[in-house]
Amino acid sequence: MRTVPGVASIALHDVLRGPRRPGRVIAVVPGVIYLDFGESTGEPRVIALSASGTICLPNAIALKLSPSDLATATSAEDPDDTWAGNGRVTACGMEVQVRRWWDPCPVFGPLSRVRIEHGVAILGRVCSAADDRPGLDGHDSPAALAACCAAGDLAGAVELAEGLVGLGPGLMPSGDSMISGLLLALRLIGGATVGGTRPVWLADWLAAAVTGYADQRTTPAGRGAAQLRRPRAGGRGGIGGAPLSGRAGAGRARGPPAAGRRASVRGRTDLGTHGRLPRGPCPVRP
């Protein structure tokens, strides 16, 4: 078995530092192996083993392996012998030993409205010029969700976001990708602007709503994204999750339960000042 050093996201600390648990390979794409260790716990715990030079997701372990070496490992060994815990991951004939940790949560400095509008304009031009169209191109729900968020229509935003879970093509469905990007934008950009508490609080409620349906509606990779939208131990959020009462560091309430969460927000547009800006994913090289 080949020993490979790795740099792990701190979002995976509980899985990697806990006791050994069995897992399975759920997908192999160029440069990345996706593993799921959630069967024994009843909730998704997806780890992405990423080769050098690839962009790391917030749940990634960056490996000191080239994409071609990683592809060779996946094709040469039985992927069924998969384990995680005690500071290492065993999969595809490799023993990945965690040597260092990286924080997937960058911090934004203060942003002016002018800078945001300039960035939005550039992003719009890039998207319009792209050869590959989004997986939800032609669907009305993304634009409707954006309009609800801009208007502060919490109930409408929750209903639309729930409908996007699992929608569209891809290993992680396009709807899940869009929701993750929306929550990231609401939290990071909203939290970095003056008076941005409303979008941050809106992200809290949307994250609580969409994670409730992930197990039934989306793929294993989509459920892996949902795990990052939940608040983690100690109040550390991933790309979208944060406690809904008080500071993110307090590690208290996790939002309304799945049953009745829509009723709890129906009619609420007073998106108050709760929540604190968490930090989102960033690319890392080993």
pLDDT tens by residue, 81-90 = 899 999 999 9
Q: How confident is the model at residue 218, as a pLDDT?
A: 67
pLDDT (0 to 100) of residue 118: 92
Compare 214 and 134 and report the one with higher pLDDT.
Answer: 134
Residue 241: exposure state from Cβ atoms within 10 A (0-12, 13-18, ≥19): buried
Considering only residues 163 and 269, tell me which one the structure prediction assigns the higher pLDDT: 163
- What pLDDT, in 10s, does the model give residues 49-74? 999 988 888 889 999 899 988 888 77
Q: pLDDT, tens digit, for every residue of 152-178?
A: 888 999 899 888 888 888 777 888 888
- pLDDT-derived band of residue 248, with 50, 70 and 90 as boundaries? very low
pLDDT of residue 99: 94
Contact between residue 165 and residue 217 where contact means Cβ atoms under 8 Å apart: yes
User: How high is the pLDDT of residue 273?
Assistant: 30
- Tell me what the mean pLDDT of segment 176-202 comes to: 85
Between the ranges 89-98, 172-181, 243-252, where is the mean pLDDT highest?
A: 89-98
Confidence of residue 284 (pLDDT cuts 50, 70, 90): very low
Yes or no: say if 286 and 64 are a contact pair by the CB < 8 Å rule: yes
> 232, 226 in Cβ contact below 8 A?
no
